[in-house]
Homo-oligomer: A and B are copies of this chain.
Amino acid sequence: MTNVELSERLRDGLAPGQRTDVLLAHELTREPMARVERTLLDLPDLQPAALRQAVINVVSAGGKRIRPVISLLIAGMLGRLDDPRMIDLASAVEMLHTATLVHDDLIDGSLMRRGTQTLNATWTPAATVLTGDYLFAYAANLAARTNSTRVMSIFADTLSVIVAGELQQQFTDFALRVTRDDYYRRIYSKTASMFVLACTAAGVLCEVTEAEYNALYDYGRDLGTAFQVMDDVLDFTGDAHNVGKPVGADLRHGLITLPVICYVERYGRDGIECALRGECDPQTYDRIIARIRESDAIACALHEAEGIADNARAALAIFPANPYRQALLDLVDYTLRRTR
Protein backbone atom coordinates (compact mmCIF):
# COMPACT_ATOMS: atom_id res chain seq x y z
CA MET A 1 0.00 0.00 0.00
CA THR A 2 1.46 3.36 -0.98
CA ASN A 3 1.35 6.32 1.34
CA VAL A 4 -1.10 8.09 -0.88
CA GLU A 5 -3.42 5.08 -0.52
CA LEU A 6 -2.70 5.00 3.21
CA SER A 7 -3.70 8.59 3.72
CA GLU A 8 -6.78 8.09 1.52
CA ARG A 9 -7.77 5.08 3.59
CA LEU A 10 -7.26 6.99 6.81
CA ARG A 11 -9.42 9.72 5.44
CA ASP A 12 -12.14 7.58 3.90
CA GLY A 13 -12.11 4.56 6.16
CA LEU A 14 -14.22 6.02 8.95
CA ALA A 15 -17.40 4.33 10.07
CA PRO A 16 -20.56 5.49 8.22
CA GLY A 17 -21.90 7.21 11.35
CA GLN A 18 -18.86 9.47 11.36
CA ARG A 19 -19.25 10.44 7.73
CA THR A 20 -21.51 13.44 8.26
CA ASP A 21 -18.57 15.53 7.04
CA VAL A 22 -19.35 19.23 7.24
CA LEU A 23 -22.96 18.75 6.15
CA LEU A 24 -24.34 19.15 9.66
CA ALA A 25 -22.23 22.26 10.23
CA HIS A 26 -23.46 23.79 7.00
CA GLU A 27 -27.09 22.89 7.71
CA LEU A 28 -26.98 24.37 11.22
CA THR A 29 -25.36 27.61 10.12
CA ARG A 30 -27.02 28.13 6.73
CA GLU A 31 -29.13 31.14 7.69
CA PRO A 32 -26.54 33.03 9.79
CA MET A 33 -23.79 32.26 7.23
CA ALA A 34 -25.95 33.88 4.53
CA ARG A 35 -25.99 36.99 6.71
CA VAL A 36 -22.22 36.71 7.18
CA GLU A 37 -21.76 36.57 3.40
CA ARG A 38 -23.85 39.70 2.98
CA THR A 39 -21.89 41.46 5.73
CA LEU A 40 -18.56 40.51 4.12
CA LEU A 41 -19.56 42.20 0.88
CA ASP A 42 -20.94 45.36 2.47
CA LEU A 43 -17.61 47.19 2.02
CA PRO A 44 -17.59 50.80 3.18
CA ASP A 45 -16.22 53.87 1.36
CA LEU A 46 -14.98 52.24 -1.79
CA GLN A 47 -15.02 54.02 -5.14
CA PRO A 48 -14.66 53.80 -8.14
CA ALA A 49 -16.96 50.88 -8.98
CA ALA A 50 -14.21 48.89 -10.72
CA LEU A 51 -12.11 48.93 -7.56
CA ARG A 52 -15.10 47.98 -5.44
CA GLN A 53 -15.86 45.04 -7.73
CA ALA A 54 -12.26 43.82 -7.64
CA VAL A 55 -12.24 43.82 -3.83
CA ILE A 56 -15.65 42.10 -3.77
CA ASN A 57 -14.17 39.40 -6.02
CA VAL A 58 -11.35 38.80 -3.53
CA VAL A 59 -13.76 38.50 -0.61
CA SER A 60 -16.30 36.37 -2.42
CA ALA A 61 -13.69 34.02 -3.92
CA GLY A 62 -14.65 32.10 -0.85
CA GLY A 63 -12.62 29.30 0.49
CA LYS A 64 -13.96 27.01 3.12
CA ARG A 65 -15.39 29.66 5.47
CA ILE A 66 -14.50 27.21 8.22
CA ARG A 67 -13.52 29.93 10.72
CA PRO A 68 -16.83 31.85 10.79
CA VAL A 69 -18.75 28.55 10.82
CA ILE A 70 -16.83 27.58 13.97
CA SER A 71 -17.77 30.84 15.72
CA LEU A 72 -21.42 30.33 14.81
CA LEU A 73 -21.45 26.68 15.92
CA ILE A 74 -19.98 27.66 19.29
CA ALA A 75 -22.66 30.32 19.68
CA GLY A 76 -25.24 27.65 18.79
CA MET A 77 -23.76 25.14 21.24
CA LEU A 78 -24.05 27.77 23.98
CA GLY A 79 -27.59 28.82 22.97
CA ARG A 80 -26.64 32.29 21.71
CA LEU A 81 -26.89 31.96 17.95
CA ASP A 82 -29.65 34.57 17.84
CA ASP A 83 -27.32 37.27 19.22
CA PRO A 84 -26.75 39.58 16.21
CA ARG A 85 -23.19 40.31 17.40
CA MET A 86 -22.32 36.74 16.36
CA ILE A 87 -22.79 37.73 12.71
CA ASP A 88 -20.38 40.64 13.15
CA LEU A 89 -17.87 38.43 14.94
CA ALA A 90 -18.02 35.62 12.37
CA SER A 91 -17.67 38.19 9.57
CA ALA A 92 -14.75 39.88 11.32
CA VAL A 93 -12.92 36.56 11.71
CA GLU A 94 -13.30 35.68 8.03
CA MET A 95 -12.36 39.23 6.97
CA LEU A 96 -9.17 39.16 9.05
CA HIS A 97 -8.30 35.79 7.50
CA THR A 98 -8.89 37.17 3.99
CA ALA A 99 -6.76 40.25 4.71
CA THR A 100 -3.82 38.11 5.84
CA LEU A 101 -4.17 35.98 2.68
CA VAL A 102 -3.93 39.07 0.44
CA HIS A 103 -0.64 40.13 2.04
CA ASP A 104 0.61 36.51 2.17
CA ASP A 105 0.11 36.08 -1.56
CA LEU A 106 2.06 39.27 -2.21
CA ILE A 107 4.85 38.12 0.11
CA ASP A 108 5.02 34.63 -1.38
CA GLY A 109 4.56 35.91 -4.92
CA SER A 110 1.63 33.46 -5.27
CA LEU A 111 -0.35 33.89 -8.46
CA MET A 112 -3.20 31.49 -7.73
CA ARG A 113 -5.31 30.89 -4.62
CA ARG A 114 -8.57 28.98 -4.25
CA GLY A 115 -8.48 28.25 -7.97
CA THR A 116 -8.56 31.90 -9.00
CA GLN A 117 -5.85 34.44 -9.69
CA THR A 118 -4.60 36.36 -6.66
CA LEU A 119 -4.76 40.15 -6.62
CA ASN A 120 -1.02 40.02 -6.72
CA ALA A 121 -1.14 38.26 -10.12
CA THR A 122 -2.94 41.13 -11.81
CA TRP A 123 -2.52 44.23 -9.63
CA THR A 124 0.44 46.36 -8.69
CA PRO A 125 2.11 45.58 -5.35
CA ALA A 126 0.90 49.00 -4.13
CA ALA A 127 -2.75 48.19 -4.82
CA THR A 128 -2.33 44.75 -3.25
CA VAL A 129 -0.76 46.14 -0.05
CA LEU A 130 -3.53 48.72 0.23
CA THR A 131 -6.30 46.21 -0.44
CA GLY A 132 -4.97 44.04 2.38
CA ASP A 133 -4.86 47.12 4.65
CA TYR A 134 -8.38 48.02 3.65
CA LEU A 135 -9.61 44.53 4.56
CA PHE A 136 -7.74 44.76 7.92
CA ALA A 137 -9.55 48.04 8.58
CA TYR A 138 -12.89 46.48 7.71
CA ALA A 139 -12.14 43.49 9.96
CA ALA A 140 -11.38 45.90 12.83
CA ASN A 141 -14.58 47.74 12.03
CA LEU A 142 -16.64 44.54 12.20
CA ALA A 143 -14.93 43.49 15.42
CA ALA A 144 -15.74 46.91 16.92
CA ARG A 145 -19.42 46.32 16.13
CA THR A 146 -19.50 43.51 18.70
CA ASN A 147 -19.14 46.33 21.23
CA SER A 148 -16.81 44.15 23.31
CA THR A 149 -13.40 45.54 24.17
CA ARG A 150 -12.27 42.04 25.14
CA VAL A 151 -13.15 40.74 21.68
CA MET A 152 -11.24 43.65 20.15
CA SER A 153 -8.21 42.90 22.29
CA ILE A 154 -8.27 39.27 21.21
CA PHE A 155 -8.45 40.44 17.59
CA ALA A 156 -5.49 42.79 17.96
CA ASP A 157 -3.46 40.17 19.83
CA THR A 158 -4.17 37.56 17.16
CA LEU A 159 -3.06 39.87 14.39
CA SER A 160 0.15 40.59 16.36
CA VAL A 161 0.87 36.89 16.76
CA ILE A 162 0.24 36.12 13.08
CA VAL A 163 2.30 39.00 11.74
CA ALA A 164 5.16 38.67 14.25
CA GLY A 165 5.38 34.98 13.29
CA GLU A 166 5.58 35.75 9.60
CA LEU A 167 8.02 38.56 10.16
CA GLN A 168 10.31 36.32 12.20
CA GLN A 169 10.17 33.80 9.37
CA GLN A 170 11.54 36.46 7.01
CA PHE A 171 14.53 36.88 9.30
CA THR A 172 15.24 33.26 10.11
CA ASP A 173 16.79 30.55 8.04
CA PHE A 174 13.98 28.07 8.63
CA ALA A 175 15.47 25.51 6.28
CA LEU A 176 18.10 24.78 8.91
CA ARG A 177 15.64 24.59 11.81
CA VAL A 178 14.16 21.12 11.57
CA THR A 179 12.51 20.66 14.95
CA ARG A 180 9.00 19.83 16.11
CA ASP A 181 9.02 22.75 18.57
CA ASP A 182 9.82 25.20 15.86
CA TYR A 183 7.25 23.65 13.52
CA TYR A 184 4.42 23.75 16.05
CA ARG A 185 5.30 27.30 17.07
CA ARG A 186 5.18 28.36 13.43
CA ILE A 187 1.83 26.72 12.66
CA TYR A 188 0.28 28.09 15.85
CA SER A 189 1.14 31.59 14.73
CA LYS A 190 0.20 31.00 11.09
CA THR A 191 -3.02 28.99 11.43
CA ALA A 192 -4.08 27.84 14.87
CA SER A 193 -4.11 31.37 16.36
CA MET A 194 -6.95 32.37 14.00
CA PHE A 195 -8.96 29.27 14.99
CA VAL A 196 -8.35 30.23 18.63
CA LEU A 197 -9.70 33.70 17.83
CA ALA A 198 -12.83 32.24 16.19
CA CYS A 199 -13.45 30.08 19.28
CA THR A 200 -12.51 32.31 22.20
CA ALA A 201 -14.09 35.51 20.86
CA ALA A 202 -17.37 33.61 20.37
CA GLY A 203 -16.99 32.36 23.93
CA VAL A 204 -16.49 35.89 25.26
CA LEU A 205 -19.69 37.09 23.59
CA CYS A 206 -21.48 34.07 25.11
CA GLU A 207 -20.13 35.04 28.55
CA VAL A 208 -18.49 31.66 29.19
CA THR A 209 -16.80 30.71 32.46
CA GLU A 210 -13.02 30.63 32.64
CA ALA A 211 -13.00 26.83 32.37
CA GLU A 212 -15.18 27.00 29.28
CA TYR A 213 -12.97 29.73 27.81
CA ASN A 214 -9.93 27.50 28.28
CA ALA A 215 -11.74 24.56 26.68
CA LEU A 216 -12.63 26.72 23.67
CA TYR A 217 -9.01 27.86 23.48
CA ASP A 218 -7.83 24.22 23.46
CA TYR A 219 -10.38 23.18 20.86
CA GLY A 220 -9.39 26.06 18.57
CA ARG A 221 -5.67 25.47 18.99
CA ASP A 222 -5.90 21.72 18.42
CA LEU A 223 -8.36 21.88 15.55
CA GLY A 224 -6.28 24.58 13.85
CA THR A 225 -3.08 22.63 14.43
CA ALA A 226 -4.56 19.39 13.05
CA PHE A 227 -5.91 21.39 10.11
CA GLN A 228 -2.45 22.74 9.28
CA VAL A 229 -0.70 19.38 9.78
CA MET A 230 -3.16 17.83 7.30
CA ASP A 231 -2.46 20.72 4.91
CA ASP A 232 1.22 19.90 5.16
CA VAL A 233 0.60 16.18 4.62
CA LEU A 234 -1.62 16.93 1.62
CA ASP A 235 1.21 18.97 0.19
CA PHE A 236 3.01 15.63 -0.21
CA THR A 237 0.19 13.14 -0.75
CA GLY A 238 -2.49 15.24 -2.40
CA ASP A 239 -3.53 15.19 -5.99
CA ALA A 240 -1.86 18.30 -7.45
CA HIS A 241 -5.09 19.22 -9.24
CA ASN A 242 -7.19 19.00 -6.06
CA VAL A 243 -4.73 20.83 -3.83
CA GLY A 244 -4.24 23.50 -6.49
CA LYS A 245 -0.43 23.55 -6.38
CA PRO A 246 2.38 21.17 -7.39
CA VAL A 247 3.21 18.25 -5.08
CA GLY A 248 5.83 19.20 -2.51
CA ALA A 249 5.42 22.92 -3.17
CA ASP A 250 6.25 23.81 0.46
CA LEU A 251 9.59 22.01 0.41
CA ARG A 252 10.40 23.52 -2.98
CA HIS A 253 9.88 26.92 -1.31
CA GLY A 254 12.23 25.97 1.53
CA LEU A 255 9.41 25.40 4.02
CA ILE A 256 10.10 22.50 6.37
CA THR A 257 6.89 20.76 7.49
CA LEU A 258 6.04 17.81 9.73
CA PRO A 259 6.47 15.04 7.11
CA VAL A 260 10.03 16.29 6.50
CA ILE A 261 10.75 16.45 10.23
CA CYS A 262 9.44 12.88 10.65
CA TYR A 263 11.60 11.78 7.71
CA VAL A 264 14.74 13.34 9.16
CA GLU A 265 14.07 11.74 12.55
CA ARG A 266 13.91 8.31 10.91
CA TYR A 267 16.51 8.54 8.14
CA GLY A 268 18.70 11.54 8.91
CA ARG A 269 19.59 14.38 6.58
CA ASP A 270 21.66 12.36 4.15
CA GLY A 271 20.46 12.71 0.58
CA ILE A 272 17.99 15.50 1.38
CA GLU A 273 20.46 18.10 2.69
CA CYS A 274 20.02 20.45 -0.27
CA ALA A 275 16.23 20.49 0.30
CA LEU A 276 16.74 21.41 3.96
CA ARG A 277 18.83 24.32 2.73
CA GLY A 278 16.31 25.17 0.01
CA GLU A 279 18.80 24.84 -2.83
CA CYS A 280 18.24 21.64 -4.81
CA ASP A 281 17.79 21.60 -8.56
CA PRO A 282 14.25 20.72 -9.78
CA GLN A 283 15.02 17.05 -10.56
CA THR A 284 16.54 16.52 -7.12
CA TYR A 285 13.46 18.07 -5.53
CA ASP A 286 11.26 15.66 -7.51
CA ARG A 287 13.32 12.71 -6.27
CA ILE A 288 13.39 13.85 -2.61
CA ILE A 289 9.67 14.64 -2.55
CA ALA A 290 8.85 11.22 -4.02
CA ARG A 291 11.08 9.58 -1.41
CA ILE A 292 9.31 11.37 1.49
CA ARG A 293 5.89 10.73 -0.05
CA GLU A 294 6.58 6.99 -0.21
CA SER A 295 8.19 6.72 3.23
CA ASP A 296 6.54 6.10 6.60
CA ALA A 297 7.10 9.81 7.42
CA ILE A 298 3.58 10.35 6.04
CA ALA A 299 2.05 7.83 8.46
CA CYS A 300 4.07 9.45 11.26
CA ALA A 301 2.62 12.90 10.48
CA LEU A 302 -0.91 11.53 10.03
CA HIS A 303 -0.66 9.72 13.34
CA GLU A 304 0.37 12.95 15.00
CA ALA A 305 -2.56 14.80 13.41
CA GLU A 306 -4.94 12.17 14.78
CA GLY A 307 -3.56 12.56 18.29
CA ILE A 308 -4.03 16.33 18.12
CA ALA A 309 -7.53 15.85 16.71
CA ASP A 310 -8.37 13.58 19.66
CA ASN A 311 -7.39 16.40 22.00
CA ALA A 312 -9.62 18.81 20.08
CA ARG A 313 -12.59 16.44 20.49
CA ALA A 314 -11.84 15.91 24.18
CA ALA A 315 -11.84 19.66 24.82
CA LEU A 316 -15.54 19.81 23.93
CA ALA A 317 -16.52 17.25 26.59
CA ILE A 318 -17.47 19.90 29.16
CA PHE A 319 -20.12 21.43 26.89
CA PRO A 320 -23.74 20.24 26.58
CA ALA A 321 -24.25 17.48 24.02
CA ASN A 322 -26.36 19.02 21.25
CA PRO A 323 -26.32 19.10 17.44
CA TYR A 324 -23.98 22.11 17.43
CA ARG A 325 -21.42 20.30 19.57
CA GLN A 326 -21.81 17.29 17.27
CA ALA A 327 -21.10 19.52 14.28
CA LEU A 328 -17.96 20.85 15.98
CA LEU A 329 -16.86 17.24 16.56
CA ASP A 330 -17.62 16.41 12.93
CA LEU A 331 -15.42 19.34 11.84
CA VAL A 332 -12.51 17.59 13.52
CA ASP A 333 -13.20 14.47 11.43
CA TYR A 334 -13.55 16.59 8.31
CA THR A 335 -10.18 18.14 9.01
CA LEU A 336 -8.56 14.70 8.93
CA ARG A 337 -10.49 13.47 5.92
CA ARG A 338 -10.31 16.46 3.60
CA THR A 339 -8.46 16.04 0.31
CA ARG A 340 -7.80 19.69 -0.37
Q: How many angstroms from the CA of A152 to the CA of B143 in the assembled complex?
A: 9
Contact status of A144 and B136, CB under 8 A, knowing A47-B168, A167-B130: no
User: How many of chain A's residues touch chain B, expressed as a range?
Assistant: 35 or more
- Chain B residues within an 8 Å CB radius of A130: 103, 107, 163, 166-167, 170
A25-B186 Cα distance, complex, nearest whole Å = 45
- Give the contacting residue for A171; candidates B50, B138, B148; CB below 8 A: B50
Q: Could you tell me if A45 and B160 are in contact, using CB atoms closer than 8 angstroms?
A: yes
Given contacts A147-B149, A149-B144, A149-B149, contact A159 B171 (CB under 8 A): no
Which of B133, B138, B141, B167 has a CB less than 8 Å from the CB of A131?
Answer: B167
Shortest Cβ distance from A108 into B: residue: B126
What is the minimal beta-carbon distance from A268 to any residue of chain B, in angstroms? 28
State whether the Cβ of A137 lies closer than 8 Å to any Cβ in chain B: yes
User: Is A124 an interface position by the 8 A CB rule?
Assistant: yes
Contact call B129/A103, Cβ cutoff below 8 A: yes
Please name 10 pairs of A and B residues whose Cβ atoms are closer than 8 Å in the assembled complex, sorted by A. Answer: A48-B171, A51-B171, A130-B166, A133-B159, A137-B159, A138-B156, A140-B156, A144-B155, A147-B149, A152-B152
